[in-house]
Amino acid sequence: MKHNLLKYIDLASEKIGGEVVYTTDDFFAEKENLIKEGRGIFIPDKYTDHGKWMDGWESRRKRTPGHDWAIIKLGTQGSIKGFDIDTNHFLGNHPPFASVEAIRLTEELSDWSKVDDLEWEEILERSPLEPGSQHFFEITSDAIYTHLRLHIYPDGGVARFRVYGEVFKDWKSVSEDELIDLALATNCGKALNCNDMFFSAMDNLISPTKGKDMGDGWETKRNRTPDNEDWVILRLGHQGIVKKIIIDTNHFKGNYPDSCAIDACNCINDDVMNADWKPLLQQQKLEAHQEHLFEDNLIENHQPITHIKLKIYPDGGISRLRILGTIKH
């Protein structure tokens, strides 16, 4: 059963700029693995000079008082709804307990080893962990944070650390004449629904990074129905007026859509399936492995919109979608 937290964005993901900036010890397995994609893999006969290779963060066996911890800088500041502390493949070497502290910093520190004097807030109390398992913890707080400190007691390995939440952006600091990607995940954009994402997830469309391969995009299955239309609906981070659209089929060479179109609407909530959709971009031909800019092709519409519906014909994959426009307060 899909956990309720999975509807939120992973604020710590390296795909949106998350970074593990410090740890007390990552002797066996590097701290950077904590925020990589997937749950981690296991290769039985793979070893390093330090011991068994593990796809996660793993500290050595502690022979002195204390415990280990790691500091994660979120890819974007936001409110936290919960965590997944995943000990996948860590069976005889997982930490029996973990806790999480959070803080909102306005500037980076020069020495992350000296953070005990900062005003950390414990948002997950010391909680038990099981070997080889996902552990979902829900959080009830509307506070905005930029950094987390994951504590493990006393030592051991964690495969992945997911920080589920909602992006926060100070829209008052954005002027109405500034061109901004209204759909970008780090600008509070959100992929809401689609009819198919058999090969790769719709959320990839609005990631701030360039697509790294064919799996890093939105790709539907091959559809044999004549005149088929696949679609995805995105909520913009802020209502706005669209000036340019970029559709990137990067890495999609034998499986890009033949053509696409985009509709738009203005709704007060996300109940948009039966909304009054208006065309924003009429059906346009697409090419393989190429960035397509649509500006003069846009249907003139000076009304602000809140949601867009990307339609592709008949099926296929798109790496990124950029909806460039100005906000309307």
Domain ranges of the chain: 4-167, 173-327
Residue 295 structure tokens: 């500006």
**Sequence-ordered strand ranges (E) for 170-304:** 180-181, 190-194, 218-219, 230-248, 259-265, 278-285, 291-294
Cα–Cα distance, 34 to 32 (Å, whole number): 5
Measured CA to CA, the distance from residue 157 to residue 27 in angstroms comes to 10
Q: Look at residue 88 in the predicted model and tell me its pLDDT.
A: 98
Gap between the Cα atoms of 78 and 188, Å rounded: 10
**What pLDDT score does 217 carry?**
97
Residue 168 CB contacts under 8 Å (≥ 6 apart), including other chains = 76, 77, 78, 79, 144, 188
**Structural contact between residues 159 and 109, judged by C-beta atoms closer than 8 angstroms:** no
Question: 39, 94 in Cβ contact below 8 A?
Answer: no
| SS3 state of residue 218 | strand
- pLDDT for position 1: 65
State residue 2's pLDDT score: 75
CATH superfamily of 173-327: Galactose-binding domain-like (2.60.120.260)
Residue 249: how many CB atoms within 10 A of its CB? 24
- Among 96, 105, 108, smallest CA distance to 68 is for 96
Q: Would you list the DSSP string of 17-57?
A: T-EEEEES--SSB-GGGGGSSSS----TT-EETTEE--SSE
CB-based contact 287:243 (threshold 8 Å):
no
User: What is the reported pLDDT for 329?
Assistant: 77
Cross-strand pairs, 83:
137, 163
CATH number of 4-167: 2.60.120.260
Three-state SS at 64 = coil
Q: How far is CA 273 from CA 68, 202, 267, 321, 322, in A?
A: 48, 17, 11, 20, 22
173-327 has the same fold as 4-167: yes
Burial 187-210, CB ≥16 within 10 A → b, else e:
bbbbbeebebbebbebbbbbbeee
Mean pLDDT by 10 residues, the chain (329 residues): 89 96 97 96 93 95 96 97 98 97 93 91 98 96 96 98 97 94 97 96 96 96 96 97 97 98 96 93 98 94 91 98 94
